[in-house]
């Protein structure tokens, strides 16, 4: 499926794609929600070890497309997709690709923190347990600790690992969800407006964390906030009415967009 990628769009390829390998890519993707044509003929290349941000007005399809990247749309009966999405060149919608396995490679963090009604430890141990990643209890404990550390949460919760995860503050809960996602060693982490339910301080903390995580992961973040996209991402894709209008280096999108619609959006004409 990894046909020599045709040029994404007429403007020059984002600089960043030149020095980073492709992690995920979409070619000619169309998504329908019942009668609604939510994504129209979309193609994009997402680089590894970088943060790609999807921005656009509400209802532009950015979350729908994000959910297509780990086949979360499979859970919605009325949702149909055509076209190809690849992970390391492999089509993730191939009949012999199990979404269960795919999702252990492509993790996801949601808009509202959704820790399970279990202890902090059990929340993080959930993934390793179901995927059978740890042979022993000690190994599991170590992995939980590491994941919590990577999510920058360990220091705050190390004394109450066995208390319910729902008792944490909103920002801590979201970091717990990030720790939960990285506990299964994914390659890609999808974040669907991860800070929209958080206060500014918690948001700053998460943004810092995202910046750290990009050393090891391919991160795709959907955000409502253009400032956030500008702060955390290296690549920005602007969605409008189901189409990918513009995609390029973040600094370029925000300083010199080529498309009028992007220009209008970032200057606050609509959105």
Partner 1 sequence: MSSLNAQNPTLRRRRAAEARFRRYGAAALALTSLFLAFLIIDIVGKGWPAFVEHRVELPVTLDSRKLAEKNYDGLIKDAIFARFPEAQSRGQRKAVLALFSHSAEQALAAQLAEAPAAAGQTVKAEVLLSDTADLHLKGLSHLADPAAIDALTARLPVTAHFSWRFFSHGDSREAEEAGIRGALIGSLLTVAVALGLGLIFGVAAAIYLEEFAPKNRLTDIIEVNINNLAAVPSIIFGLLGLAVFLNAFGLPRSSPLVGGLVLSLLVLPTIIIAARAALKAVPPSIKEAALGVGASEHQAVFHHVLPLALPGILTGAILGMARAFGETAPLLMIGMVAFIADVPGSISDAATVLPVQIYLWSDLPELAFRSKTAAAIMVLIAVLFAANALAIYLRNRFERRW
Partner 2 sequence: MVLLVCSAVAVATTLGILASVLFESFVFFREVPLLSFLFGTQWAPTGSPAAFGILPLLAGTILITVIALITATPLGLFSAIYLSEYATPTLRKSLKPVLELLAGIPTVVLGFFAALTVAPFIRQVGTGLGLDVASESALAAGLVMGMMIVPLISSLSDDIINAVPQSLRDGSLAMGATPSETVKRVVLPAALPGIASAIMLAISRAIGETMIVVMAAGLAANLSFNPLAAVSTITVQIATLLVGDQEFDSDKTLSAFALGLVLFFFTLALNIAALRLVRKYRQHYE
For partner 2, the binding residues (CB under 8 A) are 70, 72, 75, 77, 100-104, 107-108, 110, 112, 114-118, 126-127, 130-131, 177, 180-181, 184
Which helix (H) or strand (E) is 243 found in, with range?
strand 243-249
Of residues 109 and 230, the one with the C-beta less far from partner 2: 109
Choice from 53, 60, 102, 221 touching partner 1 (CB under 8 A):
102
Which helix (H) or strand (E) is 235 found in, with range?
strand 235-240
Choice from 96, 137, 159, 270 touching partner 1 (CB under 8 A):
96
Residue corresponding to tokens 């992007």: 262
- Strand positions, DSSP E, 187-234: 188-192, 218-222
One character per residue 53-82, x = contact with partner 1 (rule: CB under 8 A): ------------------------------
Q: Check residue 2 for interaction with partner 1 (CB under 8 A).
A: no
Give me the DSSP letters along 91-146: ETTSTTS-HHHHHHHEEEE-SS----SSBHHHHHHHHHHHHT--SSHHHHHHHHHH
Q: Check residue 88 for interaction with partner 1 (CB under 8 A).
A: yes
DSSP 8-state symbol, 185: -
- Give the shortest CB-255-to-partner 1 separation in angstroms: 35
Query: Distance from CA of residue 1 to its chain's centroid?
Result: 23
- Residues 228-247 touching partner 1, rule: CB under 8 A, are none
Choice from 37, 112, 118, 131 touching partner 1 (CB under 8 A):
131
Stretch that binds partner 1, among 50-58, 83-91, 114-122, 213-221 (CB under 8 A): 83-91
Of residues 183 and 226, the one with the C-beta less far from partner 2: 183
In angstroms, what CA-CA distances link 123 with 1, 128, 155, 183? 36, 10, 17, 10
The angle, 0 to 180 degrees and rounded to 10, between the axes of the packed helices 137-150 and 170-182 is: 130
Of residues 186 and 257, the one with the C-beta less far from partner 1: 186
Pairing status of strand 90-91 against strand 79-87 = antiparallel
- Give the shortest CB-188-to-partner 2 separation in angstroms: 12
Q: Check residue 130 for interaction with partner 1 (CB under 8 A).
A: yes
CA distance 180 to 123: 6
Choice from 36, 100, 167, 267 touching partner 1 (CB under 8 A):
100
CA distance 179 to 145: 9
Per partner kind, with CB cut-offs from 5 to 8 A, the member of partner 1, partner 2, none near residue 198 is: none
# binding residues, partner 1 (CB under 8 A): 15
Which residues bind to partner 1, rule: CB under 8 A? 87-88, 90, 92, 96-98, 100-102, 105, 130-132, 187
């Amino acid at each position: 499926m990894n046909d020599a990628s045709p040029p994404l769009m007429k403007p020059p390829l984002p600089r960043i794609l030149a020095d980073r390998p492709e992690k995920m890519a979409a070619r000619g993707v169309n998504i329908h929600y019942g009668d609604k044509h939510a994504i129209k003929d979309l193609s994009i290349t997402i680089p590894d070890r970088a943060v790609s941000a999807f921005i656009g007005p509400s209802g532009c399809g950015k979350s729908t497309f994000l959910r297509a990247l780990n086949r979360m749309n499979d859970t919605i009966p009325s949702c149909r997709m055509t076209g190809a999405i690849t992970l390391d060149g492999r089509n993730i919608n191939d009949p012999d690709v199990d979404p269960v396995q795919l999702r252990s490679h492509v993790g996801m963090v949601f808009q509202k923190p959704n820790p399970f009604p279990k202890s902090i430890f059990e929340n993080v141990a959930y993934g390793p347990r179901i995927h059978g990643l740890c042979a022993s209890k000690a190994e599991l404990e170590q992995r939980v600790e590491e994941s919590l550390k990577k999510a920058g949460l360990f220091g705050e919760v190390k004394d109450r690992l066995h208390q319910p995860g729902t008792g944490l503050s909103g920002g801590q809960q979201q970091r717990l969800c990030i720790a939960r996602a990285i506990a299964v060693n994914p390659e890609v982490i999808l974040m669907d407006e991860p800070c929209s339910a958080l206060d500014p301080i918690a948001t700053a903390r998460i943004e810092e964390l995202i910046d750290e995580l990009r050393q090891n992961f391919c991160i795709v973040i959907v955000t409502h906030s253009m400032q956030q996209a500008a702060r955390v991402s290296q690549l920005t894709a602007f969605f409008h009415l189901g189409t990918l209008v513009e995609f390029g280096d973040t600094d370029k999108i925000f300083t010199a967009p080529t498309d009028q619609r992007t220009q209008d959006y970032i200057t606050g004409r609509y959105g």
